[in-house]
A and B are shown apart, each in its own frame.
Chain A
Amino acid sequence: MTPQQETLELRGDGAVRASIQFCYRQAGQGPPLVWLHWLWGEPGWMDYHQRLAERFQVFVPDLPGYGQSALPEWAKTPHDLAVLLLQFLDALSLQRPIVVGSCLGGWVGTELALLRPERIAKLVLISPLGLVQDWTKVPNLFYTDPARLPRYLFTDAALEKASLYVPDLSNWTDAFINSRNASIRLVFDPYLHSRSLRHHLHLLTTPTLVVWGEQDPLLAPAHAALWTASLPQAHSVMIPRAGHLPYVEDCEAVIQAIHTFIPPQERGGA
Chain B
Amino acid sequence: MRVFNMVLFGWPYLPDDAPVGTPGSYPLSNRYFDPVQGNALLQRELDRITLSDELGLDGFTCQEHHGGGGFCAMVPSTHLMAAAVSQRTKQLQVAITGTCIPLHHPLAIAEEVAMLDHLSNGRFIWGALRGFPTEYLSYNVNPAESQARFREGFSLVLKALSSEGPFDFDGQFYRVRDYNIWPKPLQQPYPKIWMAANSLDSLDFAVKNRTYIATPWVSIERTRSVHETYHRLAHEQNIAIPEDFDDMFASICALYVGESDKKARQEAEVHLEYHFFRALASFDIGTVSLIPGHMSVDGMRDWLKNVTSKDTGKAMGYSVDEGIENGTVILGGPESVIAQIKRQREEGKRGTLLAMFQFGSLPDALATQSLRLFAQEVLPKIRAI
Contact = CB atoms under 8 A, between A and B. Distances in A.
Interface string B288-330: 1011110001001100100110000000000000000000000
Interface in B119-159: 133-134, 137, 140, 142-145
A188 B144 contact: yes
A252 interface: no
Interface residues of A, number: 23
Contacts of A177: 292, 297, 300-301
A170 B308 contact: yes
A205 interface: no
Contacts of A73: 172
Contact of A144 (B172, B287, B308): B287
B19 to A, nearest CB: 12
Interface string A130-151: 0000000000101111111000
Contacts of A178: 297
A202 interface: no
A215 interface: no
A81 to B, nearest CB: 14
Chain A interface SS verdict (over half): helix
B23 A188 contact: no
Most buried by A among B140, B142, B288: B142
Given A174-B297, A178-B297, A184-B142, A145 B23 contact: yes
Interface string B72-103: 00000000000000000000000000000000
A143 B142 contact: no
A264 B7 CA distance: 72
Contacts of B144: 181-182, 184-185, 188
B24 interface: yes
Nearest to B300: A177
B301 A188 contact: no
Contacts of B297: 174, 177-178, 181
Given A189-B140, A189-B142, A146 B292 contact: no
Nearest to A185: B144
A181 B142 contact: no
B304 A184 contact: no
Nearest to B23: A145
A178 B292 CA distance: 9
A95 B292 CA distance: 36
A185 B293 contact: yes
B293 A184 contact: yes
A73 B304 CA distance: 26
A172 B293 contact: no
Contacts of B290: 146, 169
Interface of B: 23-24, 133-134, 137, 140, 142-145, 172, 287-288, 290-293, 297, 300-301, 304, 307-308
Give the top 6 A-B pairs by smallest Cβ distance, nearest first: A145-B23, A185-B144, A180-B292, A184-B293, A184-B292, A188-B142
Given A147-B23, A185-B142, A188-B293, 20 more contacts: A73-B172, A140-B137, A142-B143, A142-B291, A143-B288, A144-B24, A145-B23, A145-B287, A169-B304, A169-B307, A172-B304, A174-B301, A178-B297, A182-B144, A184-B142, A184-B144, A184-B291, A184-B292, A184-B293, A185-B144
